[in-house]
Amino acid sequence: MKRIGVFTSGGDAPGMNAAIRAVVRAGIYYDKEIIGIYRGYEGMIEGDFVPMDVRSVSNILQRGGTILKSARSTEFKTPEGRAKAYEQLKKHNIDGLIGIGGDGSFTGMHHLYKEHGIPYVCLPGTIDNDIPGTDYTIGFDTATNTAVEAIDKIRDTALSHNRLFFIEVMGRDSGYIAINAGIAGGAVSVIIPEEQTSIDELVKKLNEGGKHNKSSSLVIVAEGGKSGSAMEIAQKVKEKSSYFDTKVTILGHLQRGGAPTYFDRVLASKMGVAAVESLDEGKTDVMIGIVNNKMVYNKFEEIMTQPKYVHKDDLRIAKILSI
């Protein structure tokens, strides 16, 4: 394999730059040519390619976002769109791909490989940590730290006014950010998509906290939950109990930005090197993961058939600590 294309796709995540840097540097170390593909599959279809050298990735290790930009492409979801992308890859003599993105991006690479035979390795890059086959995805640690930092600040003001705060965090259909930020931020309750929450139970718990002189309470709500948004849940709680002075904060996209933590930089760097080495060894149709601190290579069909849920034990711990 001589020319490898690298791209970022789907929602951006802190640490994507560290992964790009690792792919470029490892590629050059192993005597490959590395081609940057801008704007994910959109840029692949349009042939928006640029050769990358060692210095093109200087000073990006510590930066959030992605220098290659990211995008979502509806055209790539069609066989015709993927055929256009393949034509561009062929025209530029690209014989392997390393893509950094979430489960949708992984699915896209799998289809391209099945239809046109382009070998690829996927790196899990998403703040949601919702991809099976890896304990952690690139960006999850940074996003959760950002959420915890914000929760700590909200706690200061909640305490000063004896308020009940509902704080909505990201995660799409997954409660990973919520449960971990909830444990780290000392939340009284964490509402996640994987579990149905009873408003009556929640109100009961909040009332008990009031009786035990709890002067403020923080409830963490994962976006995309079956029980509703933070705004809707706060409204329902208010209707059941006028006792609380209630506020809602939606953390939103600030969780996607910022300098990656040491953990995400190291994870992205290790995965980037592993991607180049494994692609060169002939591995394909895989996503690299880290399980029990070891790199693993997950075949698409083996992991994408199963959803990834938050650890039941984390829910238990959050409950024990919130009395």
Alpha-carbon span 143 to 131, nearest angstrom: 16
**Interacting residues toward ligand ATP by CB under 6 A:** 9-11, 41, 72-73, 76-77, 101-105, 107-108, 111, 126, 128
Residue (4 or 127) nearer to ligand ATP, CB: 127
Residue (107 or 278) nearer to ligand ATP, CB: 107
- Is 128 labelled as part of a ligand binding site? yes
- Is 216 labelled as part of a ligand binding site? yes
Least distance from ligand ATP to the Cβ atom of residue 126, Å: 4
- Is 269 labelled as part of a ligand binding site? no
Instruction: Say which amino acid occupies 83.
Output: A
- Is 99 labelled as part of a ligand binding site? no
| Contacts for 134 with CB less than 8 Å, ≥ 6 apart | 124, 287, 288, 289, 290, 291, 296, 298
Closest residue to ligand ATP in the complex (CB): 104
- Is 276 labelled as part of a ligand binding site? no
Length in residues, the chain: 323
The yes-or-no answer on residue 128 being catalytic is yes
2 φ, ψ (degrees, to nearest 5):
-115, -45
Alpha-carbon span 315 to 192, nearest angstrom: 10
Least distance from ligand ATP to the Cβ atom of residue 41, Å: 4
Least distance from ligand ATP to the Cβ atom of residue 280, Å: 24
Alpha-carbon span 94 to 106, nearest angstrom: 18
Residue (22 or 109) nearer to ligand ATP, CB: 109
Least distance from ligand ATP to the Cβ atom of residue 104, Å: 2
Residue (244 or 300) nearer to ligand ATP, CB: 300
- Is 82 labelled as part of a ligand binding site? no
The owner of tokens 């880290």 is 290
What are the angstrom distances between the C-alpha of 185 and each of 38, 119, 149, 178? 37, 43, 8, 10
Element (H, E) at 222: strand 217-222
DSSP-assigned letters across all residues of 4-53? EEEEE-SS--TTHHHHHHHHHHHHHHTT-EEEEETTHHHHHHHT-EEEE-
Least distance from ligand ATP to the Cβ atom of residue 302, Å: 17
- Residue 210's region, left for phi above 0, alpha for psi from -120 to 50, else beta, is alpha
The owner of tokens 């996209």 is 253
Residue (77 or 84) nearer to ligand ATP, CB: 77
Selecting among 12, 31, 95, 128, the annotated active-site residue is 128
Annotated binding site for substrate: 126-128, 163, 170-172, 223, 247, 253-256
Residues with catalytic annotation? 128
Annotated binding site for ADP: 21-25, 155, 214-216
